[in-house]
Structure 1
Amino acid sequence: MGQSRYLDRPQPGPLWTGQRGALTISGIVQVVLAVGADAKLSGLRPHRLRHTYATRLREGGADVAQVQALLGHASLDTSARYFRAGTAEQAAVVDRVFDPRSAAVWREKHTDLWLELRKCLRAC
């Protein structure tokens, strides 16, 4: 059953089962560790997958309330941590805002400032 169909009509019982029934938390961790090792991602844990899922939702345009609902957070503050931009994202925003096609004149007039700003954002 696909995730969206499961969310529309949750079924009773365990989401994941193994040979001996419902997987325990440690069983899920072991499965994720094994799959991560096969993919050359040593130490991969379920929480890292959850964090990546939330980050991809945000990058895909989901708002904080949507992330809250999908992750089951009780508080928007918990979901808001995924909306803090890192330095690479900040640099990308500057590059996007000052796109070469739309900001060429500004950059010509302020080349030193532009280069210093980019250097600072990438070094932070």
Structure 2
Amino acid sequence: MPTFYCYNRCSTCRKAEKWLRDHEVTFEKIDLVATPPAAADLQRWIQANQERGLRYFFNTSGQRYRELHLKDRIATLTIPEAAQLLASDGKLIKRPLMVEGDHVTCGFKEDIYTENWL
């Protein structure tokens, strides 16, 4: 069963959750901010999806991303460093995050969800 990491105050997360329920997709819901994924899991997901690059996993439009000046630093981060940073603050992770095994989607677009989760 896929795990759906979301932030309830995020309108995109609410849209994605509605889409999942409308399409009768079974999932486990976890609050991304209260319970971010472990660094080891994030590292595994990043490594399994390296072709997407580190930026794929980061909430690049978020306040915390800007505060930490990650735009300038992201190219120099190693995968373990990025995973540790993401695990330290769920608001750094692009949301919603949908995961099953090493299969991962970040963000919500209907066509991507249709292709990956139906």
Whether these two folds match at TM > 0.5 is no
Shorter-chain TM-score: what band?
under 0.3
Larger of the two Rg values belongs to structure: 1
Q: Which has the higher contact order (CA 8 A, sep 6+)?
A: 2
Please report the TM-score for the alignment, with normalisation by the length of structure 2. Answer: 0.26
